[in-house]
Amino acid sequence: MKALVVRAAGLAPSVEDIRLPEVGPGQIRVRIRAAGVCHSDLSMVNGTLNPPYPLVLGHEAAGEVVEIGPDVNRVPVGSHVALNWSPPCRTCWFCENGEPWLCATANIAALENGSTLDGTPLQVALGLGAFAEEVVVPAHAVIEVPSSLAWESAALLGCAVLTGTGAVRNTAGVRSGDSVLVIGLGGVGLSVVAAARAAGASSVIAVDVSAAKKALAEAAGATDFIVSGDTLSKDVRVLTGGRGADHSFECVGRSATIRAAWRATRRGGQVTVVGMGRGDDMVQLSALEIFSSARTLRASVYGSSDPDLEVPQLAQDVLSGALKLDHLVTDRITLAEVPAAFERMSRGEGARSVVTF
């Protein structure tokens, strides 16, 4: 079976033949049909994140159930499913208190699953390793979706769309008439833009370092577009009555852009960090500005969502036309073309590349 494997941080990933483990109790084997190329995958290649290697990349995917192990009654063989890279246990304190996205036992790192043909143990990204023809995953890591839903749409629901939409609806609670700033226009950022407009935001100001993102931002529903620069906070205030945005969403995962979002938010406003960054990239805020600005700074982990409940609802929204995803997919590629997709992502080009099998 073929999969995209990275051998060490900084090395280019390549397609290799690997062996999957047998399907055991509580597990499901899924034939992958589509997999999105997420910035978190790039972070595992370039060293921003530091998982163990060798590593099968990929975590935003959808496919067809082809085998179920003993004691599995979640879905039957033949089901169409989206993959959940952070499946909650439903028994820890966080799960029992309505915060399954903070599950104490959910694996959001790499774990050993399979091997290379020479017997070297393989890790799989975020517990999935979905840049592969097939995966073996825990049963609670799959979410059934309608068979009429396009594979690439189902894949995007499992990460970019759920993360971005949840950040708006669940974490920040954007209301009709609010002004919204979104920094970083990858798949997650564009999903934030679309969700903010759907929530009735009066203005959605989209920001990126690449001017080429303007058309994508407008397709997602942005009312304004700004190329990121030193005057960002002033530019945002011009568009928001001199106050700054009611809500700012940072979808990059860097201290500099978190600070930029903070400065562009009005007093008493909310800054929501959606991007996942480096452990040593420190954000500095003075005690005085925290007090005097009365702003709220918080993170949105996986959209503060319960994927088992929200992915099926998002799927219905796509099928009804209430949620449009066409603008998110800018490149349809093969597994061998993922490294080129990483290069485009590093240059700030496009939104989501999707591997189709």
Average pLDDT over residues 337-346: 94
Are both 296 and 341 inside the same structural domain? Answer: no
User: Which three-class secondary structure state does DSSP give residue 23?
Assistant: coil
**Helix H or strand E segment including 267:** strand 265-273
Q: What is the pLDDT of residues 163-208, one digit of tens each?
A: 999 999 999 999 999 999 999 999 999 999 999 999 999 999 999 9
Question: pLDDT-based confidence at 108, cuts 50/70/90?
Answer: low
Instruction: Confirm whether 149 is domain-assigned.
Output: no
Instruction: Confirm whether 153 is domain-assigned.
Output: no
Q: What is the pLDDT of residue 326?
A: 86
Are both 130 and 255 inside the same structural domain? Answer: no
Query: Which residue pairs, CB below 8 angstroms and at least 24 apart, start in 233-241?
Result: 233/260, 233/263, 233/264, 236/181, 236/205, 236/264, 237/264, 239/179, 239/203, 239/205, 240/179, 240/203, 240/205, 240/266
Are both 256 and 352 inside the same structural domain? Answer: no
Instruction: Confirm whether 120 is domain-assigned.
Output: yes
Are both 280 and 184 inside the same structural domain? Answer: yes
Question: pLDDT-based confidence at 105, cuts 50/70/90?
Answer: confident
Cβ distance 233 to 259 under 8 Å?
A: no
Q: What is the pLDDT of residue 298?
A: 97
Average pLDDT over residues 129-158: 96
Q: What is the pLDDT of residue 65?
A: 98
User: Residue 243's CB: how many other CB atoms inside 10 A?
Assistant: 14
Question: pLDDT-based confidence at 22, cuts 50/70/90?
Answer: very high
Q: What is the pLDDT of residue 111?
A: 65
Are both 21 and 132 inside the same structural domain? Answer: yes
Are both 182 and 137 inside the same structural domain? Answer: no
Average pLDDT over residues 66-94: 95
Instruction: Confirm whether 313 is domain-assigned.
Output: no
Are both 45 and 115 inside the same structural domain? Answer: yes
Are both 23 and 111 inside the same structural domain? Answer: yes
Average pLDDT over residues 118-129: 88
Instruction: Confirm whether 316 is domain-assigned.
Output: no
Q: What is the pLDDT of residues 262-297, one digit of tens each?
A: 999 999 999 999 998 888 999 999 999 999 999 999
Instruction: Confirm whether 308 is domain-assigned.
Output: no
Q: What is the pLDDT of residue 349?
A: 86
Are both 110 and 218 inside the same structural domain? Answer: no
Instruction: Confirm whether 150 is domain-assigned.
Output: no
CATH of the domain at 250: 3.40.50.720
Instruction: Confirm whether 317 is domain-assigned.
Output: no
Are both 218 and 135 inside the same structural domain? Answer: no
Are both 224 and 342 inside the same structural domain? Answer: no
Residue 77 has pLDDT above 90, yes or no: yes
Are both 164 and 299 inside the same structural domain? Answer: yes
**Structural domain boundaries enclosing 45:** 2-144+325-356
How many domains does the chain divide into? 2
Cβ distance 254 to 234 under 8 Å?
A: no
What average pLDDT does the structure give for the chain? 94
CATH of the domain at 341: 3.90.180.10
